[in-house]
Chains A and B, each alone.
Chain A
Amino acid sequence: MFKNEEMEINLGPQHPSTHGVLRVKLRLDGETVTHCRPMIGYLHRGVEKICENQSFFQGQVWTDRMDYCSAVANNLGWAEANEKLLGITVPRRAQYIRTLLNEFNRIASHLIWLGTHAMDIGALTVFLYAFREREDVLDINEAFCGSRLTTTAFRIGGLREDLPPGFEKMVRKFLAKFSDCLDEYEALLTENRIWKKRTIGVAKLSAEDAIALGVTGPMLRAAGVAYDIRKAFPYAAYAEMDFEVPTRTEADTYARYEVRMAEMRQSARIIQQCMDGMPEGPVMAKLPKILRSEVNEVYHATESPKGEIGYYLVGEKGSLNPYRFHVRAPGFINLQSLPKMAEGGLIADVVAAIGSLDIVLGEIDR
Chain B
Amino acid sequence: MNKFLRTLIPTDIAKGLSVTGKHFGQVFFTANRRKVPFHIVGEYPEVPAKVQPRYRGRLTLLKDEQGEIKCVCCLACEKICPTQVITIEKGKMEGRKMPFPVRYDFEMERCIFCEFCVESCGFDSIILNHQFELAAYNREDFSLGTKGTAQNMFELSPVGKYSVAED
**A: which residues have CB within 8 A of B?**
54, 57-58, 61-62, 125, 132, 135, 139, 142-147, 150, 152, 160-161, 164, 177, 181, 184, 187-189, 191-193
9 interchain residue pairs of minimum CB distance: A146-B54, A191-B12, A146-B56, A58-B82, A143-B52, A142-B52, A188-B16, A61-B114, A61-B82
Residue ID in chain B nearest A136 by CB atoms: B40
Once the chains bind, are B54 and A142 in contact (CB under 8 Å)? yes
Q: Looking at the complex, which one of A58, A61, A135, A187 makes contact with B16 (CB distance below 8 Å)? A: A187
Separation of A189 and B12 alpha carbons in the complex (Å): 9
Q: Which residues of B contact A145 (CB under 8 A)?
A: 54
Residue ID in chain B nearest A50 by CB atoms: B82
B36 CB–A CB distance under 8 Å: no
Q: Which residues of B contact A139 (CB under 8 A)?
A: 52
Once the chains bind, are A146 and B115 in contact (CB under 8 Å)? yes
Once the chains bind, are B80 and A143 in contact (CB under 8 Å)? no
Q: Which residues of A contact B15 (CB under 8 A)?
A: 187, 191
Min CB gap B22→A, angstroms: 9
Residue ID in chain B nearest A145 by CB atoms: B54
B41 CB–A CB distance under 8 Å: no
Separation of A164 and B53 alpha carbons in the complex (Å): 9
B13 CB–A CB distance under 8 Å: yes
**B: which residues have CB within 8 A of A?**
7, 10-13, 15-16, 18-20, 37-38, 40, 51-56, 80, 82, 112-116, 119, 128
Residue ID in chain A nearest B81 by CB atoms: A58
Residue ID in chain A nearest B128 by CB atoms: A146
Residue ID in chain B nearest A180 by CB atoms: B38
Min CB gap A317→B, angstroms: 23
Q: Which residues of A contact B119 (CB under 8 A)?
A: 160
Min CB gap B41→A, angstroms: 12
Q: Looking at the complex, which one of B10, B53, B114, B128 makes contact with A152 (CB distance below 8 Å)? A: B114
Once the chains bind, are A192 and B16 in contact (CB under 8 Å)? yes
Once the chains bind, are A57 and B54 in contact (CB under 8 Å)? no
Separation of A193 and B51 alpha carbons in the complex (Å): 42
Separation of A145 and B113 alpha carbons in the complex (Å): 11
Once the chains bind, are A184 and B19 in contact (CB under 8 Å)? yes
Q: Which residues of A contact B40 (CB under 8 A)?
A: 132, 135
24 A–B contacts from the bound complex (CB under 8 Å)? A54-B82, A57-B80, A58-B116, A61-B82, A61-B116, A125-B16, A132-B38, A139-B52, A142-B55, A143-B52, A143-B54, A146-B52, A146-B54, A146-B55, A146-B128, A147-B113, A150-B112, A152-B114, A161-B54, A164-B53, A177-B38, A187-B16, A192-B12, A193-B10
Q: Which residues of A contact B20 (CB under 8 A)?
A: 125, 188
Q: Which residues of A contact B112 (CB under 8 A)?
A: 61, 150
Indicate whether A193 sits within 8 Å of B12 (C-beta atoms), given known contacts A132-B40, A147-B113.
Answer: yes
Q: Which residues of A contact B7 (CB under 8 A)?
A: 193
Min CB gap A32→B, angstroms: 27
Min CB gap A92→B, angstroms: 23
Q: Which residues of B contact A184 (CB under 8 A)?
A: 19
Q: Which residues of B contact A142 (CB under 8 A)?
A: 51-52, 54-55
Residue ID in chain B nearest A58 by CB atoms: B82
Separation of A161 and B52 alpha carbons in the complex (Å): 15
Residue ID in chain B nearest A147 by CB atoms: B56
Q: Which residues of B contact A144 (CB under 8 A)?
A: 54
Once the chains bind, are A58 and B80 in contact (CB under 8 Å)? yes
Residue ID in chain A nearest B79 by CB atoms: A55
Min CB gap A104→B, angstroms: 15
Q: Which of B10, B15, B54, B119 counts the most A-chain CB atoms under 10 A from its CB?
A: B54
Min CB gap B130→A, angstroms: 10
